[in-house]
Structure formats: C-alpha cells, structure tokens
Amino acid sequence: MPSSSSIESPAAADAGAQPLAGLAGVGPALAAALQRRGLHRVQDLWFTLPLRYEDLTTLTPLAALVAGHRAQVEGVVSQVETGFRFRPLLRVALEDATGGMLVLRFIHFRRTQAAQFAPGVRVRAYGEVRAGAQGLEMVHPRYRILAGESPPLAQQLTPVYLQAEGIGSTRLGMLILRALALLPDERHLDVLPPAMRQRLGLPDLHTALYTVHRPSVDADRAALDAGVHPAQRRLAFEELLAQHLALRQLRQRARACTAPVCTGGAALQRQLLARLPYALTGAQRRVLQEIAADLAMPRPMLRLVQGDVGSGKTVVAALAALAVVGSGWQVALAAPTELLAEQHARTLRGWLEPLGLEVVWLAGKVQGRARAQSLQRLQDGAALCVGTHALMQEAVQFRNLGLAIVDEQHRFGVHQRLSLADKGAAARRVPHQLVLTATPIPRTLAMTAYADLDVSVLDELPPGRTPVQTVAVSSARRDEVIDRIRAACAEGRQAYWVCTLVEESAELDAQAAEAAYARLRDQLPGLSVGLVHGRMNAAGKQAVMHAFAGGRLALLVATTVIEVGVDVPNASLMVIENAERLGLAQLHQLRGRVGRGAHASSCVLLYQPPLSATARARLELLRSSTDGFHIAEMDLRLRGAGELLGTRQAGLPALRVADLVRDADLLPAVRALADHLLADDPLRAELLLARWFGAARRYAQA
C-alpha cells in the first residue's frame, strides 16, 4: 500500500485547486458560466469527461458511406435546393471523384448560410449518415466551406463534451487542454498503489486523463464508447473510492459519538403485538433483533431496513420506537411527502395512542397556533413526532430525541437525514438512526450507495397478501380497459388510473392527468372520479385522497405522486398509462398500491406501440415477477444505479464516470483500499475527496 511520503506535493495540490478564473482565456463571464455548470477549479476540468468521440482523422469516400454510421466526408456542391413556403428547408447535394452522392439537409438555417453553398464549392462535413428520400443524407451536419488546399486531418479522436449555456463543446475542450497542461508529475498525483493498478490492469492517473481527453487514433474506440476502456475504468475506480470514503467517513464520525442505551419498552411492545390482527413474519422478527442489538449499544445505530412493498416496515419502525420511548427518549419519523407522512401519523396514532403515548403531527401546512402547540409538545417530551421536511427546520427542538427514523431515504439525501439526527445531538451524544426504504436495492448497490449504514432486509411478505396479476395491454385496447374499470367498480371495488409523461415536468404531468380525468369522466358517467397531481396544493391533494380512502370515489386519476404511501385495501385495479416510459422499480412501487386487501387485484400496463426491445423486456419481467429484489436487480442492469436510486444518488453528487453495474467488479478492491486509507493514510484520503468533490465535499463533513 502507498505511504504518505508519495502523496501529492503542495504544489501539485495547488495546481488542481487553482480557480478557473485564473486559467488563461477565462474571463468573468466564462468563469460564471463554468460555475453554473459546477466547475470551479482546474481539477474539475480534469474530470469533466467527453460524452463521446468523433473520428475526424480520415475522409470516407461518398461511394463508401453506410447508413447508420458517422463519417467525415469531402465533396463538391452539385445542386442546392431551398424552400420557405411551408417550412424552411435546405438541401445541398455533394459529389466526389468516387461517383457517390450525399445530401446535406438543414431544417433550421439562415438565408446567409444557404448562400454559402453554390455549385462548385468544396465542403467538408461530419455527421450521421441516414437513408433519406433522395438517397443517403446527413441532417444538420457539422461542416466547413473549403477554399484553397484542404486543411490537415485531425491526428487524434476528437472528444465531444456536454454543451451548456455559454460553453460549447469545442470551447470546453480547449479549456480542458489548458487544464491538462497543469497536471503534476504522476508520482505526485496518483493514489492507487502500483501493484493494485497492475493487478486490475489500470493505467496511472496521468495517462488515464490524457487518454480519455486526447485518445490516439488507434485507441479502442468500441471500449471508449462503452465506457470500459482501461483509462475510463481507472477514473471510475478513483471516483468509486472517493464516494465510498465519503460515506465511510460519515460512519466513522457518527460512531465516534455516543447514543442513548435503549433496552426498555418490552411491555409496550407486547401490548402492541397483542393488538395486531396478525403475527410478525420471520423476517420482521429477525430485523427487530438486529435493531434491538443496535439500540442496546452506547454508540448510534446506523441501520437501513429495506423491504418490498407490503413487507411490514412500518410495524418494525413502530416496535423500534417503543423500545426507545420505553427507555425514556423521544422518536421522530420523517417522510418525504405529506401523503405518506399523514398516513404514518394515522397508523401510529391508531397503534400507540391506546398505549398512552402522544403522537405529534408536524408538516408544512401546520401553521399558526397549531404549529406552536406542536413545537411546545415536542419540547415538553411528547413520545413521537411524525412529519415531513418540516421536522428538519431549525425551529423544531426536541427535549431528548433518541431515535430518528427516515422513510424513503433517497428522496431526502444524506444532508437532510443528518440534519434530523442533529436535533438530538448534545455533548457528543446523537440519536440512533433508522432508515426505511420500499425500493429493494441489490446488495452490490446497497454496499456502495449506503456504505455508512448497516443493512437489514425484509425479504418475506406477511400472510394474506393477495398476489397482483399483471398484464401488458396495447393502448389500442383502451376501451376494453375502461370496461374493466366499470365492471370492477360495479362490484364495489375501486381503481387507480396513473398518468405518466417522458418529461419530468409537474406542469405537463398535471395537464396529462387533467386530460385523462376529463376523458374518463365522460366515458364512465356513472362513477365518481377524483384527480390528484403534484401541482395541487396540499389541502386539495389530502381532500381527494381522503375521499378515495373513504370509498367516496370509485376511480382516482393520478400522477406518480401516489407511488408511495397510499394504502386503500379496497382498491383492486390499477391502470398505468404509457407504462413503457417508467423503470421497473417505479412500476413495481406503483403496482404495490393494489393487492393490499383480500380481493384479487390486477395491474394493467397500458403501453403505446411499437415497443423498444428494452421496454418490451421490462414489461415482460414485471408481468412475470412480483419479487421486488429480482425486479430491482434487473432494473439496475437495464437502467443503471442513478435511475434506481433517483437523481440525488442517495444524497451524494451524481457519479460522473463510474457506473455501479458496469464497474461492479472494481468494488472489492475499492473497499479494500478504502479500509487501508482510512486506517493508515488519512491524508491521502482527504486529498482524494477534495479532488473529486471540492465544494460538494460538505456532505462528508455533515
């Protein structure tokens, strides 16, 4: 393993930490544009990797072009056609000595641009070759008008970077080259031991950075495009290591504190268990034993309980809370939406108030005198408080918080979870932390994304849950689906109709839901139909949800706001419109809203044909499996970890290079090196974290 004697020198560290405002060619306006993109220091440019590569090192004869491939061509304009009557259109026909022809087609152009093209003008162009109505064509290619001798061809593959406001790909590439010139000597830069690099087949960091930004013409293009080139894997290794170290540091800091020893509450737990209409599953009993062992220790519990839809996480959380309350401490439970938080409050009041325990409700809509009373009851020692993000506000103070429970952790992020835990921090004492998630997370992902937490799994469903039959139906059979809703509601059942859109826009989602609501009311005139979507105010959403839960609405039209936290046992049918647009994990979560009672339940995946191969595989898997963990594994393979966990990546900065599925084989070595650095080389760990996270580093200091 490396020693601190070989770590970055101060000069080397300073080179990477230099503000971009000091880089040649970066004025105030460009520096501001770079900052808006999250680029502040020279080393931020080192790790801004290309989206793809273009081969501008050769010219392809027009007669040799193949549709579906990108190519660079050179030819003489033989014909120009413009049209402005119905819509602007510019077609430029190129020919060369091979006898081939290619049409350059432009839909958006200026008249001055069209005037550049005239018969006899030589043009060099690059783009994707497509089959068009008049033969092969390129639509909106990059091009240049040639005068005199042809300019030299590129000597390397050309990187293409993500364009942002005020910064094009070419300009960003030039800045990155200037930043690469400031790279320190390798012995001052690398963090990986040479023996480990050799065993994994990875280059040093200096070589890796130059390779990804300036790949030679003979580089393995297929490997680069797939993200599996050794240079990319070298950077992925370091990024995974930095993320893992950050989470492990969170764990170390928490473990360095003390927490209340909670060994009471057995009598309260027995009373609650006696009131439940069912017995705990073996998985629930096992997880409760793990939690009890944690709570009995004087160091803080840091535990994630993950379980499929309906696996009984809430009762596990309630029994854990009783152990803490029975030991003289308070409990806080935070949920990401008012729908879910209010449902938790109702459930916990029904369970705990008969035991003589007070449950306080605190959300954004609790204002004025009611809010002041809730805050005072917490300071007076109320046993349990349930709420939303409002719990994390500075004004919320507990008398002696002993346990912080966070439901659906990835919807909050690390910062918010820790801010709730801070409510009980005093003199190096912190509350225990229990995190719940209904998103089954594959073990590989959990060990990396939640490296600061111990993981417990509820992998057994309570008896009596009715399996949900899932079918995939083309939108052409929409009328049949509506007839099915009519029949189910005629039998006294209730149904959901879920609307989705590709764009993540609350406004567009609301429009889609409102259109479906109006259409379904017309087609189902005898049924009471409700509407809920994200742009409604909290009171409006709650009123509709209460009406549906109370049976006053037969059909609920909704966006994916109902993904979690809606429990209506009488709802036995769900229709998910445009199901091909959602990932497996989200579809499985939505499907979990039905099948919660004793009635046979169905989920109809209404799709818009034709389906892509991936969408077809996704819907077929959901149709054939109800195992959330198996579905999560497949979703991870099909969509990647960022999609599964949500855009917040469990509260961490999003991975820029690594992919937890593609690079899973690196994780054992990542964990081994993290163990060494934390134990024997903390200075190198600090430099690595600063290199990768910079300003975003604060999440590891929380």
Pair 418, 289 in one domain: yes
Please list the helix, strand and coil fractions of the chain in percent, rounded to the nearest 5, in that order. Answer: 45, 20, 35
Q: What pLDDT shows up at residue 216?
A: 92
Distance CA 68, CA 130 (A): 6
236 in a structural domain:
no
289 in a structural domain:
yes
Pair 282, 303 in one domain: yes
Q: What pLDDT shows up at residue 417?
A: 65
Give the H/E segment covering residue 361: strand 359-362
Do strands 384-387 and 359-362 pair parallel, antiparallel, or not at all (unpaired)?
parallel
Which residues are 89's β-sheet partners? 83
User: Token pair of 528, please?
Assistant: 């009471």
Distance CA 565, CA 567 (A): 6
Going from the C-alpha of 73 to that of each of 54, 64, 80, 124, 584, the distances in angstroms are: 13, 10, 18, 6, 42
Pair 374, 431 in one domain: yes
33 in a structural domain:
no
Pair 363, 342 in one domain: yes
Which residues are 144's β-sheet partners? 124
| Complete DSSP assignment for 366-388 | --HHHHHHHHHHHHHT-SEEEES
Going from the C-alpha of 149 to that of each of 121, 124, 145, 154, the distances in angstroms are: 13, 12, 11, 15
Q: What pLDDT shows up at residue 505?
A: 44
Q: Distance between terminal CA atoms of the chain? A: 29
Distance CA 248, CA 266 (A): 33
Pair 306, 446 in one domain: yes
| Complete DSSP assignment for 175-212 | HHHHHHTTPPPGGGT--S-HHHHHHHT---HHHHHHHH
Q: What pLDDT shows up at residue 537?
A: 80
Q: What pLDDT shows up at residue 530?
A: 93
Distance of CA 157 to the CA centre of its chain: 31
For 350, the domain range is 257-458
Pair 261, 322 in one domain: yes
Pair 269, 130 in one domain: no
User: Looking at 146, 161, 183, which one is the last position of a domain?
Assistant: 146
Pair 64, 109 in one domain: yes
Which CATH number fits the domain that encloses residue 337?
3.40.50.300
Pair 452, 526 in one domain: no
Burial class (CB in 10 A: 0-12, 13-18, 19+), 147: exposed
521 in a structural domain:
yes
Distance CA 355, CA 23 (A): 66
641 in a structural domain:
no
- Which residue ranges of the chain lie beneath pLDDT 50? 1-12, 502-509, 641-653, 698-702
What b-and-e string marks burial along 661-681, b requiring 16 or more CB atoms within 10 Å of the CB? bbbbebbebbbebbeebbeeb
Q: What is the domain count for the chain?
A: 3
Pair 356, 390 in one domain: yes
User: Looking at 129, 146, 163, which one is the last position of a domain?
Assistant: 146
Distance CA 566, CA 310 (A): 11
Pair 477, 595 in one domain: yes
Which CATH number fits the domain that encloses residue 138?
2.40.50.140
665 in a structural domain:
no
Pair 334, 406 in one domain: yes
358 in a structural domain:
yes
User: Looking at 423, 458, 493, which one is the last position of a domain?
Assistant: 458
Q: What pLDDT shows up at residue 1?
A: 44
Establish how many alpha carbons lie within 13 A of residue 645's alpha carbon, considering only the half-sphere containing its beta carbon: 27
| Complete DSSP assignment for 457-516 | EE--PPTTPPPEEEEEEEGGGHHHHHHHHHHHHHTT-EEEEE---SS--HHHHHHHHHHH
Residues in contact with 659: Cβ distance below 8 Å, sequence separation at least 6, in sequence order: 227, 236, 640, 641
285 in a structural domain:
yes
User: Token pair of 589, please?
Assistant: 């979560």
